[in-house]
C-alpha cells in the first residue's frame, strides 16, 4: 500500500492513485472522511449483493417461514432455537440489519461530502428508500402471505437497492472519474434509459416465473417442448416470454455497445461499461440454462439471482454516466454568464 504524497486540489483527494487506499497520516479531516466513505461504499455495495442472494436463499428452500409468523423477532425470541430453515431466515434478517446500518452511514457521509451535487441528492434518497421498502415488503411477506406478483416486485426493489448502493459507492470512491464527462446525443440517452426499464421488466418476469412455481413446467432449454396439459399452458407461456425477452435484451445491449463505440475516444467509459453489460447478460443466460438443466437446483437459483443483480447494476451505471454528461453540460451553461450585448449606437 503506497503512502499519500501529493494533494490533488481539483478532486479534493490526497492520492497516489485513483482511490485513496493510502495511509491517513498528515491529511485533513475531510480527506479522512473521503477515505472512510470510499471503504464504506465498497462494504455497503458488497453487503447489498449478499442481501439479494440471501433473499433468494430464503425464498427457494422455503425458509421464509423459518421464523414462523413473527417479525422482527424469530419465533418470538431474539436468538431462536436453530433449525436449518430458522437459521437461514434469521441470518438473512441479521445481515439485512447490518446492511441497513452501512447504508445509513454511507448516505450520511455522501451527503456530508457531496451533498450539493445533484447526483448524490438523487442517489441517497433512492438508496435509503429502496432498502426501507425492501425490508417492509420482506416483513409483510412473512406476516401475511403474498401473491407471486408482489413477491416478484420485492426482488425488483432489491435490484434498485443494489444498483443505487453501488453507484453511490462509485461516486464517493472515485469522484474524479465522475466529472468533466462529454454529453452524449439525446437519442442515445433515451435508448440507455429505455434499456434499463426493459431490463427491469425482464428481471421481474423471471422473478414471477420463480415465485409462481412456473419453472417446473419447462425443464428443458432453450425450448420447453410441446407436451403440457391445459393447466400448464400459462406456465409455459411465462417461460417462453421470459426466455424470448432475455434473448432480445442481449441484442439490444449489443446495439448499445455499437452506438457507444462511435463515441470513442471521448466516452470509452460507456464502451467499456457496455461490454461489461453484455458479458453479464450472457453469463446470466448461461446461469438460466444451468438452472433449468439442473432441475431448479438451489445453486443455480442463487447464481442466476446474483448475475441478475450484476446485469441490472451495469445498466444502471451506464444510465448514470449518460446522465452525468448532460447534467454537467446544463450546469456549466447556467454557471457561465450571458454574453453582454454592446449598446447599439444611435
- Are the CB atoms for 284 and 308 separated by under 8 Å? yes
The full 3-state SS of 89-154, as one line of letters, equals HHHHHHHHHHHHHHHHHHHHHHHHHHCCCHHHHHHHHHHHHHHHHHHHHHHHHHHCCCCHHHHHHH
Instruction: Please report where in the chains the cell 421464523 appears, as a residue.
Output: 67
Whether 34 is catalytic is no
Instruction: Give the up-direction half-sphere exposure of residue 94: CA atoms within 13 A in the CB hemisphere.
Output: 11
Omega of the bond prior to 72 within 30 degrees of 0, cis?
A: yes
DSSP lists the bridge partners of residue 14 as 7
Catalytic residue among 18, 81, 89, 232: 89
Q: What is the DSSP string of 12-80?
A: TEEESSSS--S--TT--HHHHHHHHHHHHHHHHHHHHHHHHHHHHHHHTTTGGGTTTT--SSBTTBSS-
Q: Which of 252, 151, 146 is nearest to 199 (CA)?
A: 252
Instruction: Please report where in the chains the cell 426466455 appears, as a residue.
Output: 243
- Are the CB atoms for 335 and 327 separated by under 8 Å? no
Q: Which three cell numbers mark 301? A: 437459483
- Catalytically active residues are 89
Amino acid at each position: 500500500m503506497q503512502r499519500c504524497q501529493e494533494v490533488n486540489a481539483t478532486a479534493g483527494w490526497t492520492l497516489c492513485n485513483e482511490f485513496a487506499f493510502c495511509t491517513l497520516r498528515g491529511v485533513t479531516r475531510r480527506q479522512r472522511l473521503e477515505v472512510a466513505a470510499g471503504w464504506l461504499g465498497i462494504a455497503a455495495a458488497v453487503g447489498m449483493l449478499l442481501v439479494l442472494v440471501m433473499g433468494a436463499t430464503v425464498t427457494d428452500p422455503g425458509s421464509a417461514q423459518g421464523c414462523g409468523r413473527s417479525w422482527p423477532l424469530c419465533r418470538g425470541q431474539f436468538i431462536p432455537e436453530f433449525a436449518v430453515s430458522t437459521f437461514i431466515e434469521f441470518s438473512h434478517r441479521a445481515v439485512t440489519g447490518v446492511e441497513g446500518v452501512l447504508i445509513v452511514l454511507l448516505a450520511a457521509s455522501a451527503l456530508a461530502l457531496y451533498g450539493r451535487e445533484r447526483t448524490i441528492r438523487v442517489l441517497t434518497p433512492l438508496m435509503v428508500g429502496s432498502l426501507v421498502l425492501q425490508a417492509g415488503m420482506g416483513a409483510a411477506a412473512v406476516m401475511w402471505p403474498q401473491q407471486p406478483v408482489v413477491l416478484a416486485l420485492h426482488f425488483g426493489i432489491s435490484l434498485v437497492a443494489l444498483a443505487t448502493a453501488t453507484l453511490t459507492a462509485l461516486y464517493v470512491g472515485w469522484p474524479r472519474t465522475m466529472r468533466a464527462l462529454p454529453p452524449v446525443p439525446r437519442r442515445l440517452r433515451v435508448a440507455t434509459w429505455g434499456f434499463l426499464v426493459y431490463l427491469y421488466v425482464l428481471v421481474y418476469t423471471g422473478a414471477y416465473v420463480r415465485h409462481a412455481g412456473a419453472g417446473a413446467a419447462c425443464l428443458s432449454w432453450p425450448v420447453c417442448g410441446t407436451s403440457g396439459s391445459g393447466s400448464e399452458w400459462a406456465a409455459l407461456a411465462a417461460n417462453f416470454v421470459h426466455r424470448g425477452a432475455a434473448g432480445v435484451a442481449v441484442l439490444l445491449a449489443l446495439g448499445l455497445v455499437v452506438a457507444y463505440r462511435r463515441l470513442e475516444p471521448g466516452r470509452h467509459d460507456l464502451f467499456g461499461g457496455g461490454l461489461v453489460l453484455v458479458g453479464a447478460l450472457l453469463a446470466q443466460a448461461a446461469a438460466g440454462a444451468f438452472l433449468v438443466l439442473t432441475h431448479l437446483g438451489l445453486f443455480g437459483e442463487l447464481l442466476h439471482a446474483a448475475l441478475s443483480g450484476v446485469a441490472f447494476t451495469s445498466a444502471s451505471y451506464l444510465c448514470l454516466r449518460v446522465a452525468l454528461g448532460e447534467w454537467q453540460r446544463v450546469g456549466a451553461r447556467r454557471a457561465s454568464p450571458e454574453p453582454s450585448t454592446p449598446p447599439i449606437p444611435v
